[in-house]
């Protein structure tokens, strides 16, 4: 009989044992990324993210499945918004927090959420996770940005499906950026060329740097750019300065910084990570607001990089309908939710069904508005 064990730190399990369950080439569920979040105290009880990772062991003590899991005392840093659900709980005199979150903190990237040696182990862990809210005085369990394999197991556990939408760029064997532009409508080709020319004429150049290319002074500058993105919204940054140091010690080969220079002075940056066949744009920041700098640093330079290195996909981050105008395509995302209270679970289930219908229509409209000369068959 398999047994569920919970760990209050990812550091309590050896990296090789956790990563042995990661068949996907995506970096965010790997031990190094999750460990960097904890070791840097970006994720901690003080920040409202209490690690409670789920480990499933078989009769001989072998780890056969695992899930990144957190006890949450707020809903920030998740990118699947449930504030209305929390309000509904409050209106009937119930506590929504703590809740349990099966996700990668601050990372709205689709990928494995229930890691396992096979589907049976994945299904068994998903069922064990679904039973945790009732046994731990939590309102709910939320698995966010779930890949197909995890989705099957979570559905079998009775979780409620919720549909979302993101935008991704796909490489269809383009020889260069102009070959990609040739697939777009004339209006969008002109717009993108105008934005890139504006940066070129201003003397702005984006350079792709690895961790070993960055000295202490530039590290401070890049973190200041990142912090400014939150400061202008009146928030503290989710990630501490130590996170980037920890990550680069653990996963340097996966880290890229796209740094925009204006006449040899850094003025902006996009922090990205590499999967096996995908470039992931994660965080952005700049010295001050420059026209078109965000598009050049976060989108066009990333597309250039994917074409040059033969990467199949560019996931440039959550949200952003403006990505449609720049060659990105709408794709469905899914999260899964276990709600402890029966009546509220029924209400949330009904809401998610109606929301999914609206999201499907929205995605279809977005695809019809895409700026390809002929609509590519991708991104369902």
pLDDT tens for 189-242 read 999 999 999 999 999 999 999 999 999 999 999 999 999 999 999 999 999 999
Count of beta carbons in the 10 Å neighbourhood of residue 45? 12
For the cut 90, the answer to whether the pLDDT of residue 79 exceeds it is yes
For the cut 50, the answer to whether the pLDDT of residue 378 exceeds it is no
For a pLDDT cut of 90, what percent of the chain falls above it?
Answer: 90
Looking at every residue in the chain, the average pLDDT score rounds to 94
pLDDT of residue 5: 97
For the cut 60, the answer to whether the pLDDT of residue 380 exceeds it is no
Both tokens of 98, joined, read 């703590």
The answer to whether the Cα torsion of 52, 57, 62, 63 is positive or negative is negative
pLDDT of residue 25: 86
Say if CB 62 and CB 311 are below 8 A apart: no
- Cα–Cα distance list, 255 to 135, 186, 279 (Å): 39, 35, 10
Cα(368)–Cα(278) distance, rounded to whole angstroms?
25
Cα(134)–Cα(378) distance, rounded to whole angstroms?
40
CA dihedral 227, 106, 259, 166 (to 10 degrees): -130
Query: How confident is residue 371, by pLDDT bands cut at 50, 70 and 90?
Result: low
Both tokens of 25, joined, read 């080439």
Q: What would the mean pLDDT of 17-33 be, rounded to a whole number?
A: 94
């Amino acid at each position: 009989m398999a047994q569920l064990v919970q760990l209050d730190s990812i550091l309590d399990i050896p990296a090789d044992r956790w990563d042995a369950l990661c068949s996907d080439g995506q970096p965010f569920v790997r031990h190094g990324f999750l460990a960097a979040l904890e070791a840097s105290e970006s994720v901690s009880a003080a920040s409202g993210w209490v690690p409670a990772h789920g480990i499933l062991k078989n009769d001989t003590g072998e780890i056969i499945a695992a899930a990144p899991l957190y006890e949450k005392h707020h809903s920030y840093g998740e990118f699947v918004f449930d504030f209305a659900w929390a309000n509904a709980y409050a209106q009937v005199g119930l506590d929504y927090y703590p809740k349990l979150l099966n996700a990668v903190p601050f990372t709205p990237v689709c990928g494995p959420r229930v890691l396992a040696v096979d589907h049976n182990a994945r299904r068994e862990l998903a069922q064990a996770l679904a039973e945790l809210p009732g046994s731990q005085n939590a309102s709910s369990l939320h698995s966010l940005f779930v890949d197909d394999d995890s989705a099957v197991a979570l559905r079998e556990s009775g979780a409620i499906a919720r549909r979302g939408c993101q935008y991704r760029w796909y490489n269809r064997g383009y020889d260069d950026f102009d070959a990609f532009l040739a697939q777009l409508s004339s209006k969008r080709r002109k717009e993108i060329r105008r934005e890139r020319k504006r940066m070129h004429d201003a003397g702005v150049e984006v350079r792709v740097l690895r961790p070993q290319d960055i000295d202490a002074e530039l590290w401070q500058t890049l973190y200041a750019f990142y912090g400014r993105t939150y400061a202008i919204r009146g928030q503290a940054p989710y990630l501490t300065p130590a996170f980037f140091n920890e990550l680069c010690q653990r996963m340097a080969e996966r880290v890229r910084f796209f740094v925009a220079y204006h006449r040899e002075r850094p003025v902006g940056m996009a922090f990205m990570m590499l999967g096996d066949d995908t470039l992931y744009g994660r965080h952005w920041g700049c010295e001050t607001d420059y026209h078109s700098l965000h598009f050049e640093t976060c989108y066009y330079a990333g597309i250039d990089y994917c074409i040059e290195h033969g990467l199949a996909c560019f996931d440039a981050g959550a949200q952003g309908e403006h990505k449609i105008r720049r060659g990105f395509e709408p794709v469905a995302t899914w999260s899964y939710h276990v709600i402890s209270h029966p009546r509220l679970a029924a209400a949330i289930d009904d809401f998610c069904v109606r929301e999914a219908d609206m999201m499907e229509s929205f995605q279809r409209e977005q695809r019809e508005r895409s700026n390809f000369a002929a609509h590519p068959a991708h991104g369902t």
